Structure 1
Amino acid sequence: MPQVCVFPKDVASLTGHSYDGAKRLLQRLRRQLGKPAGSYVSVGEFCRFTGLPEQEVAAALR
């Protein structure tokens, strides 16, 4: 089953940011989307925010 949500450790490995930098990136994304703190961020939302291709991100998360 493919991974649907991204977590800070995933963002850190995909972008090369530190774990804390990945947490800040996800916080900015949640604020922009109007989501409450701690809510899940989908792979699609992350890809639209960063401009990364969703298929490549999904493949990297496997």
Structure 2
Amino acid sequence: MKRICIYTKDIQIITGRSERYCRNLIAEIKKTNNKEKHQPVTVQEFCHYMGLEPTSIQHTIR
């Protein structure tokens, strides 16, 4: 089963950046997509924002 949501730790592994950077990135993606604080960011939204193919990161996040 594939996950729909992406978390800070996943983004850290994908980008190699710090936890703080990844938290700020999630906040920016939420702001861009007009999401509220409690709503999660999906893998699709993250990939679209970063310009990545969802299939390229599926093996990284289980």
**Fold shared per TM-score above 0.5:** yes
Cα distance in 2 for partners of 1:40, 1:16 equals 21
Higher helix share: 1
> TM-score, normalized by length of structure 1?
0.92
Query: Counterpart of 1:59 in structure 2: which amino acid?
Result: H
Structure 2: segments with no counterpart, 5+ residues = none
> TM-score, normalized by length of structure 2?
0.92
Higher strand share: 1
The aligned residue for residue 12 of structure 1 is 12
1:60 is paired with a residue whose SS is coil
Q: Does 1:46 align with 2:43?
A: no
Give the alignment's Cα RMSD to 1 decimal. Answer: 0.9
Please give the per-residue CA displacement for 1:5-53, whole angstroms capped at 9, x wherever unaligned: 0001111111111011100000000000000113101101100000111
